[in-house]
Amino acid sequence: MTTPKFQRGTLNTFQPPEHISKVSQALRSVGRKVALVPTMGALHDGHRELLRRAKRLPNTVVAASIFVNPLQFGEGEDFEAYPRQLEADLAALSEAGVELAFTPKASDMFDENAAVTLNPGPLGDELEGAVRPGHFSGMLTIVAKLLNVVRPDYAFFGEKDYQQLVLIKRMVADLNIDTRIIGLPTVRERDGLALSSRNVYLTPEQREDAVVLSAALSAGAHVGRDGAAAVLEMARQTLAARPQVEVDYLELRGTDLGPAPVDGEARLLVAARVGSTRLIDNAGVLLGKAVEHPSGDPDAGE
């Protein structure tokens, strides 16, 4: 197959996986690098920040994928209702200066009779995995396919889906995938609400209630020097102020989502239902003596 046409300085959209594979291979053969921002569409400012950071990399062509992955939606979840706005998303990618868009069909990315999927390991059954069985297997399977199709040098993900980010980093390391995974801090509204494609489901009243998630994280992080128990108690008290918000879990873990340390960097994670909408959020916490001598995250930024 001849290499599909690629035009510099404009958005080039490809649907068949073999087309974007050929273009990516051709770009890398002449010394260019490729950065991928995987998305499920319904682009918001969180996605735009990932694209902006990807564009800062030197000698790099930025690619974005738009694919609503059915494998990561469980029974009774919002796959059919998930917002789809391809034309608006492509316009947003073009405005952001993205040069490659990959918009595969479902049949391009998975076969209903496929016998092989990825096992996320024990972490895949905890936190989000305990509430959404099979979610992380479906997510990792499609992310691995995207990385295999595009073969990017870099792939950008937001920290809002922190467990997803940790599992993707593990997958890339364990399977020797030659892509550097870069996680970026959660982008928030002015009132602290984490940007999410699912925020469009919230009524104005629910939108006000949802802010309690980030408020609880901030309150918990503020008492980090007093230890893990104090962090969780402060976060619980803050969440209790909005009893209409139904909390699925509130947990404090290590940065690798193992047990939280006594002193040092940790992660506070929350998931809750606001009306019929399920939201997740998380924040970094410094525990104990580490509050006085914080250390940087070597994986943060670029």
pLDDT recorded at residue 115: 84
- 18 marked ligand binding residue: no
pLDDT recorded at residue 291: 65
- 41 marked ligand binding residue: yes
17 to each of 11, 101, 110, 178, 231, how far by Cα in Å?
A: 17, 11, 12, 19, 46
pLDDT digits (tens, 9 = 90+) for 125-161: 999 999 999 999 999 999 999 999 999 999 999 999 9
234 to each of 67, 218, 241, 289, how far by Cα in Å?
A: 38, 9, 11, 19
pLDDT digits (tens, 9 = 90+) for 158-177: 999 999 999 999 999 999 99
pLDDT digits (tens, 9 = 90+) for 50-69: 999 999 999 999 999 999 99
CATH architecture of the domain 197-288 equals 2-Layer Sandwich (3.30)
Model confidence band, residue 290 (pLDDT cutoffs 50, 70, 90): low
- 44 marked ligand binding residue: yes
Q: Which helix (H) or strand (E) holds 167?
A: helix 162-174
Catalytic residues: 47
156 to each of 53, 72, 136, 153, 168, how far by Cα in Å?
A: 9, 19, 18, 10, 11
CATH code given to domain 12-184: 3.40.50.620
pLDDT recorded at residue 104: 96
- 19 marked ligand binding residue: no
- 197 marked ligand binding residue: yes
12 to each of 31, 67, 102, how far by Cα in Å?
A: 19, 16, 9
Res 296 pLDDT > 50: no
Model confidence band, residue 109 (pLDDT cutoffs 50, 70, 90): very high
pLDDT digits (tens, 9 = 90+) for 176-219: 999 999 999 999 999 999 999 999 999 999 999 999 999 999 99
| Domain residue extents for the chain | 12-184, 197-288
pLDDT digits (tens, 9 = 90+) for 69-108: 988 888 778 788 788 999 999 999 999 999 999 999 999 9
**∠ CA(131), CA(135), CA(136), 5° rounding?**
115
Is residue 116 within 8 Å of 142, Cβ to Cβ?
Answer: no
Torsion of CA 209, 210, 214, 215, to 10 degrees: 0
pLDDT digits (tens, 9 = 90+) for 218-265: 999 999 999 999 999 999 999 999 999 999 999 999 999 999 999 999
- 45 marked ligand binding residue: yes
